[in-house]
Amino acid sequence: MASFVSFSSNTARLCITSERGACDRGFLRNCEEEGFDVTYIPFTKDTSLFVQELNKIVQGLGAGESYAVVGFGAAAAFCLEYYVKPQNTRKIRALVAYYPTRIPGQELSYPSSMRVLLHLANEDVDVFHDCQSAKRHHHREIQHLSSGLGVGDRLPLRYSAFVYSAALPGFAERSRDSYEYVSASLAWSRTLGLLQEEFGKHYDLEETWDKIQENRYFAPSMKDPLASYVRQGTPSITFVPTLQGATGREALRRFYANAFPQGKPPSMKMRLISRTIGADRVVDEIFLYFKHTQEMPWILPHIPPTHREVRIIIINIVCVRGGLLYSEHVYWDQASVLVQVGLLDPKSLRGHENLAKTPIVGGEAAKAVLMNDRQDIADPGG
């Protein structure tokens, strides 16, 4: 694995399980790229054989070693019931359950020595209980899952659980028709964050991203930019306001060879304002200055040089997998850019000439953020 990964223990063993024939190889590869020692166990109706395979993992662990389980569907449901019993939790650090067909009742809790994380689809699921509570439930209990707290959709349970309201079961497996990229990506970040914490993994995503930026923006000549991108899957870069960028390694090669070098005028300066680092993402808030002395396809495509100065704030969201760049989304206020280069007059919008003021500003927006200048912030009551 890449040198930017370190573990506090000898081995991070991860057991992944799903129904036989339903193994998502892309998910397994992602786990391996993040440095986990992955074992796949197919789940069958003969649960005694399945338990034997789980026990083999436990028996193969050395002193001080532990393991985690990630289950899908019926396999996840079985694991939720199996590990709620304390006698089955020796050496397990975490259990991640993707769209289980059954979930624990409110009275059930898991040992404090293990973390539990549920990723739930928008569906009806059965609820299982302990023996005493089961006697009080004479009929099948079904819970409808559709939404949770806030935009994160966290459920108020004894363990971490999230519902993905736009997704159906199978949303995290590329081989399934119900695969849904946004939900899968969000769930993966949460899964990876939990596993990193439990296995004491330490990543230096910041150094990885800074080296990429140094090569891209500040080096006298840019070395092979594709060396920093993942080899598998579809790496991408998207400048969202202008829909510029590329998806796939060949398209990225053409983009960096042709379009991107034009977009770096000598006057361009960047200053980091804030940085947020997650399990597999870096989010930068950056002050960007340049004088528009040349064509810049990524921010002003097809616009000849205006020789105007531009000051904006850009938001850069980077996803890293296994130490390599997977995706990059870049956002900024394009209306502010157009105002500053003289292509948009905020005082005269076609069809709205009678408006005294429009909600469009120029470089003062960047100044308000950079200087923390509250005088530039509009007072709604003023």
What is the tens place of the pLDDT at every residue in 319-368? 999 899 999 999 999 999 999 999 998 877 676 666 667 788 999 999 99
pLDDT in tens, 140-153: 677 777 777 888 88
Whether residue 302 is found in the same domain as residue 352: yes
Whether residue 158 is found in the same domain as residue 219: no
Contact status, residue 54 vs residue 23, Cβ threshold 8 Å: no
Whether residue 240 is found in the same domain as residue 190: no
Q: Which two tokens stand for residue 355?
A: 């408006």
A 10 A CB-CB count for 65 gives 16
Residue 354 domain-assigned (yes or no):
yes
Closest CA relative to residue 205, chosen from 186, 228, 188:
228
Residue 381 domain-assigned (yes or no):
no
Higher pLDDT, residue 366 or 23: 366
Whether residue 244 is found in the same domain as residue 157: no
Once rounded to an integer, what is the mean pLDDT over residues 300-304?
Answer: 95
Task: Return contacts of 54-63, CB within 8 angstroms, 24+ apart.
Answer: 54/15, 54/82, 57/13, 57/15, 58/90, 58/91, 58/92, 61/13, 61/91, 62/10, 62/11
Instruction: Give bridge partners of residue 17 from the DSSP assignment.
Output: 41, 71
Range of the domain at 135: 5-202
Whether residue 218 is found in the same domain as residue 192: no
Higher pLDDT, residue 63 or 82: 82
Whether residue 198 is found in the same domain as residue 215: no
Whether residue 234 is found in the same domain as residue 368: yes
Instruction: Say yes or no to pLDDT of 8 above 50.
Output: no
Closest CA relative to residue 260, chosen from 236, 295, 308:
295
Whether residue 192 is found in the same domain as residue 226: no
Written as one letter, the residue type at 273 is I
Q: Which two tokens stand for residue 299?
A: 């921010």
Instruction: Say yes or no to pLDDT of 137 above 70.
Output: no
Higher pLDDT, residue 45 or 314: 314
The CATH number of whichever domain residue 305 belongs to comes to 3.10.450.50
Whether residue 218 is found in the same domain as residue 305: yes
Instruction: Give bridge partners of residue 307 from the DSSP assignment.
Output: none
Q: Which two tokens stand for residue 14?
A: 């991860």
Higher pLDDT, residue 139 or 348: 348
User: How many domains does the chain divide into?
Assistant: 2
Closest CA relative to residue 119, chosen from 88, 89, 157:
157
Residue 179 domain-assigned (yes or no):
yes
Q: What is the mean pLDDT of the chain?
A: 88
Q: What angle do CA 203, 205, 207 make, to 5 degrees?
A: 110
